[in-house]
Structure 1
């Protein structure tokens, strides 16, 4: 992973006064061209790495760095940790190197460096088939800054139906999934995921975020991605109630696609049933109508009625034949 190499290069620069692209290439077992690209990437990201031309030239870290990284400013420290190791993709070696770098930082920078390291997740695998590259979201820097500093944001947002809203959010972090960007945040209604290309405004406040203890971006995104994968593979979601005596039959019929929500006041069980299509689910559930009442979607109810009519037409008469 490139993040491994970037951290390794920073450690080399910290240990030595100067390195060459050839030395980096030999140490990391990459080509000199790759080593130069990595060194350039560090500089472009805001880390104070600079090159010296000539026969005795090479690359150095501004401000020394042999024993610490005090030459880094707060913004440069943040840039390093954003580039070097997003929380969900860093290998154990990268995490170990980041811990060493944190210990080498001036104490005033440490909390922000650790917050920066955990405020961004880069997930290169897109949802389904690769899509056209999307432009960088306009409010990305502001929202990432709010996540790192732990402050609330007044967010303007336009949802998939075109409805505009304005709300206070408590940013947890930013996720890049393929070419799509998402803000994961808490609101008064709980955790939400916002498509960054639907954000219409972002006003950063100085009020501290309120986020449940023990919650982090990495764990939250794992839960969100798992839920989205389930919904993508089973896009139809049926809300229904089931008589208790029919619940075992329902479990056999739909297996892991069944979610039990709890008992209603009348003793019936509220359930969610997921699957790939309305007609197929209707056919699967048609034999359970004695116990099952479909609340929504209406399309499944209509398919059940059509299936019932077809069954009556074919088998309702005493002398029905094929």
Structure 2
């Protein structure tokens, strides 16, 4: 099943369905979210793909009532089922996820839907900017669909917990990719988590390098070359983490496009850095300079 969809193809599908010629039903989800602006509902209302339903990443793609699991813990099956039904999803639907640019937030929705066992979920390549650049229409206001009957059944994609992430970073037979910006990996800046640096053994692999200047994913061959240079060879287990598990899903998408499998660490550095008994490393190298709990009091 394709992972990406082009704006023109999505527009053609939606037009065919509106005219009654479509063989399947396509539901578009708008995941407008950034770390600086978590609530994207106003931007959504100002202009979105016609028929797109707004998805609140903080409340529907995460469960903030869970403690100790990082800033964006995964929702429960029951909570995600409620969200999917609010979005109007029915078994057999094709789901297309889009965001305001770069596909960083929509990748989280893609990952959760795949994890929930959804058969056909795709990312709009280039996101809303590509849709608009193609001269395609947008509409304003809210879309409130009829409730759906979808049910989440988690388990289709692998995850790793804190202990597993530690093992991936230390085992030479495995690879742990840090999806954050290089400055955060090196420990030069840390805008939100309590300690700066990275999980010892992790390799810096910013997700911004997965896309081109137009916000579209790089071609599969280019992604494969990128990950091969980071030690990914198809035989080693590859884990992905970021600050809170959102953009780490973008890395999983890019790995899949390149022909590799990846394992998500949902707790990511926001969980790791809050466990002060665990070491962090700083600098450009995976091992870096290690600092442990004693160094932080």
Q: Same fold (TM over 0.5)?
A: no
Which of the pair is proportionally richer in strand?
Answer: 1
Structure number, greater radius of gyration: 1
TM-score, structure 1 length as denominator? Answer: 0.23
* Structure richer in helix, relative to its length: 1
Which has the higher relative contact order, 1 or 2, with Cα contacts under 8 A spaced 6 or more apart?
Answer: 2
TM-score by length of 2: 0.24
